[in-house]
Chain A
Amino acid sequence: MSDVSPVVVDRDIDTTNMQVSKTEVAIEIIGMNKWFGDFHVLRDINLRVMRGERIVIAGPSGSGKSTLIRCINRLEEHQKGQIIVNGVELTSDLRRVDEVRREVGMVFQHFNLFPHLTILQNLTLAPIWVRGVPKAKAEETAMMYLERVRIPEQAGKYPGQLSGGQQQRVAIARSLCMNPRIMLFDEPTSALDPEMVKEVLEVMISLAEEGMTMICVTHEMGFARQVANRVIFMDQGQIIEQNEPEAFFSNPQHERTKLFLSQILH
Chain B
Amino acid sequence: MTDIAFVRSEMATAQPAPRRVSGMIAWLHKNLFASISDSVMTIIAVLFLLWIVPQLYGFLIGRAVPPGGTVEQCRVENVGACWAYIASEIEFFTYGFYPMAEYWRPNIVFAMLALIGLPLLWPSAPFKIANALLFFIVFPIASVILLSGGMFGLRYVPTEQWGGLLVTLIISVFGICVSLPLGILLALGRQSKLPIIKTLCVAFIELIRAVPLITVLFMASIMLPLFMPQGTTVDKLLRALVGVTLFSSAYMAEVVRGGMQAIGRGQYEAAQALGLGYWRRMGFVILPQALKHVIPGIVGNFISLFKDTSLVYIVGMKDLLEAVKTKNDAIEWASPTQSVTGYIFAAAVFWIFCFSISRYSRYWERRLNTGHKR
Contact = CB atoms under 8 A, between A and B. Distances in A.
Interface of A: 73, 75, 98, 101-102, 104-106, 108, 110-116, 125-126, 129-130, 158-161, 167, 171, 174-175, 178
B371 A75 contact: no
Contacts of A125: 274, 276, 284-285
Contacts of A178: 274-275
B372 A101 contact: no
B275 A102 contact: yes
Contacts of B285: 114, 125
Interface in B278-313: 280, 284-285, 288-289, 292
B274 A101 contact: yes
Contacts, number: 76
B277 A160 contact: no
Given A108-B266, A112-B267, A116-B289, A130 B373 contact: no
Contacts of B277: 98, 130
Instruction: Count chain A CB atoms within 10 A of each CB in B275, B276, B372 and give the residue with the most.
Output: B275
B206 interface: no
In the A-B complex, the 7 residue pairs with the closest CB atoms:
A160-B372, A112-B270, A126-B274, A112-B266, A106-B273, A101-B275, A160-B371
By secondary structure, the B interface counts as: helix
Contacts of A114: 267, 270-271, 284-285, 289
Contacts of A112: 264, 266-267, 269-270
Interface in B330-374: 368, 370-374
Given A75-B272, A101-B273, A108-B266, A129 B284 contact: yes
A73 B273 contact: yes
Given A101-B272, A112-B266, 4 more contacts: A75-B273, A115-B374, A116-B289, A174-B274
Contact of B374 (A98, A111, A174): A111
Contacts of B284: 114, 125, 129
Given A101-B274, A160-B372, A167-B374, A115 B269 contact: no
20 contacts: A98-B275, A98-B277, A101-B272, A101-B273, A101-B275, A110-B266, A112-B264, A112-B267, A112-B270, A114-B267, A114-B271, A115-B289, A115-B373, A125-B274, A125-B276, A125-B285, A129-B276, A129-B280, A130-B275, A130-B277
Nearest to B288: A116
A108 B264 CA distance: 13
A61 to B, nearest CB: 19
Contacts of B374: 110-111, 113, 115, 159-160, 167
Nearest to B277: A98
Contacts of B370: 115-116, 158, 160
Nearest to B270: A112
A85 to B, nearest CB: 13
Contacts of A175: 273-274
Instruction: Count chain A CB atoms within 10 A of each CB in B264, B270, B274 and give the residue with the most.
Output: B274
B194 to A, nearest CB: 13
A167 B266 CA distance: 14
